[in-house]
Amino acid sequence: MKILALDIATKTGFATDVASGVWDLKLKKGESNGMKLIRLNSKVREVVESLNIDLVAMERPAGLFKSAIITESELIGVVKLYCEEKNINYTEYSATEIKKFFTGKGNAKKVDMINEAKRRFPNMEIIDDNHADALALLELAKSDLK
C-alpha cells in the first residue's frame, strides 16, 4: 500500500516511501487566505496521482492558538475533500499518538522528534520538525497496516 503522510500546517511536512520534505504554503503579499488551500490541494493532487497513493495519513488538528487551529482545520478539509472525491482512504492520528509511537514519549518535544528522525533516517537531511513529524506519521501508518 502506498501512503502519503502529512503534517499539515503553513509549513506542511510530507513523506512517502520515495520522497519527503516540506511544502511552504505561506501567503505572498496581496494573496488571499484561500491560496494556502489551493497550494496544498495542488501539491497533494500531484503526489497522489504521480505515486498512485492508496492512503493519506494526517495529524488531527489541535493546539492552543485558535487561528492556527482554524487554518489547520481548513487545510485538512481540503485534503479530506480531495480524498473523498478520488475515493482514497485517509486516517488521522493525534500528536500524542505520533510522538509516543516515534519516541516512546507522548509529550516529546520538537527537538526529540527531529533527533529521532535523524537516528532512524541517518542518510536523510531532516529539514525541520514538520518533516520529522511527517516521517513519524508515515512509519506509524505503515505499522498500523501490518
Single-letter code of the amino acid located at 127: I
Contacts of 12 (CB under 8 A, 6+ apart): 6, 22, 23, 25, 40, 43, 75, 130, 134
User: Please, which pLDDT band fits residue 68 given cuts at 50, 70 and 90?
Assistant: confident
How far is 104 from 132, CA to CA, in rounded Å? 15
pLDDT surpassing 90 at residue 66: no
Single-letter code of the amino acid located at 107: N
pTM greater than 0.85 = yes
pLDDT surpassing 90 at residue 64: no
| Residue 31 DSSP class | -
- Cα–Cα nearest to 7, from 74, 60, 50: 60
Contacts of 73 (CB under 8 A, 6+ apart): 61
Using one digit for the tens of pLDDT, what is the confidence trace for 107-144? Answer: 999 999 999 999 999 999 999 999 999 999 999 999 99
Q: Which three cell numbers stand for residue 128?
A: 525541520
Query: How many angstroms from the chain centroid is the CA of residue 45?
Result: 14
